[in-house]
Chains A and B, each alone.
Chain A
Amino acid sequence: MKLLDTVRRSGRNLKSAKTRTLLTACAIAVGGFTLTLTLAAATGARHFTNRLVQANFDPQAVFAAKDKAFFSNNATPKPREYSEDLNAANGLLVKQFTPDDIKKVEHLPHVRQVIPNYTVTAQYITREGAKKYTGAVNVFDSASKPETKAGEVPAELPADAMLLPDDYLGLLGFKDAQDAIGKPVTIQVRQPTGKTLSKEYAVAAVTTKSSLSIDFNQTGPYISLVALKELNDFISTGVVNGNLVPTITIRGDGVDAETLKQEVTNAGFEARTAKDLQSFINQIITVLQSVIIVFGLITLVASFFGVVNTQYISVLERTREIGLMKALGTSRGTVSGLFMIEATWIGLLGAGLGAIVAVAVGMLLNPWISQKLNFGAERLLVFEPLQIASLVIFLMAVTTIVGLLPARKAAKLDPIEALRTE
């Protein structure tokens, strides 16, 4: 029998048992639905982290720590052998950069600039006629492009200027973002001895939280590196380990990040590029995704049993028809092909149904999810046609293979025996 005739026949058979076909397909559709959504979520998450990393990290820059333990996620704060540069950072005991280390990095051939990632907490931030607030002060990284509500972010922030997060607008008594532009804001820091230093900075721009921003000290004002270093140096004078910094950001003279990273690594420090961070986050996503996919596959195994069962019943129901076909000279291959194609149809129907429903549900839920997760215009579920197509083909292939068992049973039937069944 020609393939076309076989396909037509199998289609006719499925149509004559519509409800059963549809129900079996639904079982596969559940698996297809889960897998489509999982893949979409993982793709979306990857897109999101990639944009996140691109928005927050200069792809040309290298992020470095002195201690490997800083980057290992299983470091514990257990006692370590004494060394001058050991200090606690974020609850972890790690070796940190001394001023000498920083000089050493600065002298590497391709290094243009080293930005120590100081963590400065102001004694208070205030302005005339406003209350005083304690909070973090951050260094402004010229590679980052914060969203603004008013004013403009200059390429190089002057030492006497700051970027003010919009959280501070109300606190400091500004009418609105525009009102703050050009006005002075005071930051005061204090040494352990009680000596204080008070500085005024003109607001250059008012920044707002972006969905793509992962600055953990989000709410602090940004000032230039020079200004922050001044504050830091003042605070740490006389403080034990006050001159240590846990991490630094390194800019090259135009070489690619990988070369720069190699150079820093060779100098004896631990370095990561934006790409490294990206792949690290993506690795976590992959692990999560694999877990969900495994569950999806388990659902599928159950539905495959359903397909086998349905097809076995179908073979039993049509024993006489199979007997007739074989008596009239249909080959074993054609008979088993007939049943396998039926299984393929069921697979296509189920996978297609699952994928379509998943895409529909995804489109419907995407805006709501984005709102709940604070994603802004980003979408969590990203559907890729190629991915969905390969999933559908995969499910079709597996249902076909699973359909092999009942198909073989049909092919092996003895024609006269089969014809005798009522």
Chain B
Amino acid sequence: MIEVRDVRKVYGKKDSAFEALKGIDLQIPDGATVAVIGKSGSGKSTLMHIMGGLDHPTSGEVVVNGQSLGTMKRKQIDHFRAHELGFVFQAFFVEGNQTCYQNVALPLEINETGLRSRKKLIDAALERVELLDKKHVKARNLSGGQKQRLAIARAIVNNPTLLLADEPTGNLDSMTGEKIIELLFSLNKENGSTLVIVTHDHELASRCDMQIVVKDGQVMGVRVRQVDRKPLPRRGLRI
């Protein structure tokens, strides 16, 4: 369970101060699929960063499994990011002068996965985003869409319980985009990972358990899909 409690985020100081988030309250159950939708500049990325513990709210708190990220020790946060979290950045942030393999290896190096299982996991992740043939190609030589898929491979390689994806299909054609979405949903189904996706795709949004509409730093509405939910193999967040 992830709770966002009255989160505000102010950028800049005094005259140039800008309130990007104006008191957000959310509750996301474990294993849910969530779509965050809203216009450009509405604060979606800011919210995602704060939920992942990458950025600090100006006020309010994010509580993961009963523990506030703000009160966690740096070591605990590092552990949370390395073991529980997968993050797809809107701007990918792949390392251009490293190969696809090396890019995907980073999270496994960080959480100290053994070398042998590391190789298997990397191959599997690259396979799933259909980049296995580019394994030893430097990331800077990839196309925009390929970079995005590489970023996704990196985010899923450590098998996260919480996957935050900031417009993961923004640069993809509808066919490839569809495949990636299927991939993300299958992770949710197979592992019970909680999935939060920022998207402008209403078709995709309608497939999620929850749709959160953000406008000018505020939650305008939360639509919860009432369906006969199969009991999912839920994975609780371990902290």
Contacts and interface: CB of A to CB of B under 8 A. Distances in A.
Contacts of A320: 93
Given A332-B74, A415-B54, A416-B55, A327 B81 contact: yes
A421 to B, nearest CB: 11
Contacts of B78: 329-331
Contact of B82 (A12, A328, A415): A328
B89 A328 contact: no
A329 B111 contact: yes
Interface string A288-331: 00000000000000000000000000000000110111011111
B110 A1 contact: yes
A5 B109 contact: yes
A419 interface: yes
B97 A328 contact: no
* Contact count band on B: 20 to 34
B22 interface: no
Interface string B158-186: 00000000000000000000000000000
Interface in B120-136: none
B55 A325 contact: no
* Contact count band on A: 20 to 34
A329 B75 contact: no
Interface in A370-422: 415-416, 419
B110 A329 contact: yes
Contact of B110 (A12, A321, A330): A330
B87 A328 contact: yes
Nearest to B106: A328
Contacts of A328: 81-82, 87, 106-107, 110
B110 A325 contact: yes
Nearest to A331: B78
B155 to A, nearest CB: 9
A16 interface: yes
Contacts of B82: 328-330
A18 interface: no
Contacts of B87: 327-328
B112 interface: yes
A80 interface: no
Among A16, A321, A328: residue with most chain B CB under 10 A: A328
Contacts of A195: none
Contacts of B106: 324-325, 328
A2 B77 CA distance: 18
B80 interface: yes
A325 B82 CA distance: 10
Contacts of B85: 329
Nearest to B89: A419
B8 interface: no
A334 B78 CA distance: 11
B79 interface: yes
Interface in A257-279: none
B235 interface: no
19 contacts: A1-B112, A5-B109, A9-B109, A12-B98, A16-B97, A320-B93, A321-B95, A324-B93, A328-B81, A329-B77, A329-B82, A329-B85, A329-B107, A329-B110, A330-B78, A331-B78, A332-B74, A415-B54, A416-B54
Ranked nearest first, the 10 interchain pairs of A and B with the lowest CB-CB distance are A329-B82, A329-B81, A5-B109, A416-B55, A329-B78, A331-B78, A327-B54, A324-B93, A330-B110, A329-B110
Interface of A: 1-2, 5, 9, 12, 16, 320-321, 323-325, 327-332, 334, 415-416, 419
Given A2-B112, A329-B83, 4 more contacts: A1-B109, A12-B98, A324-B95, A330-B78
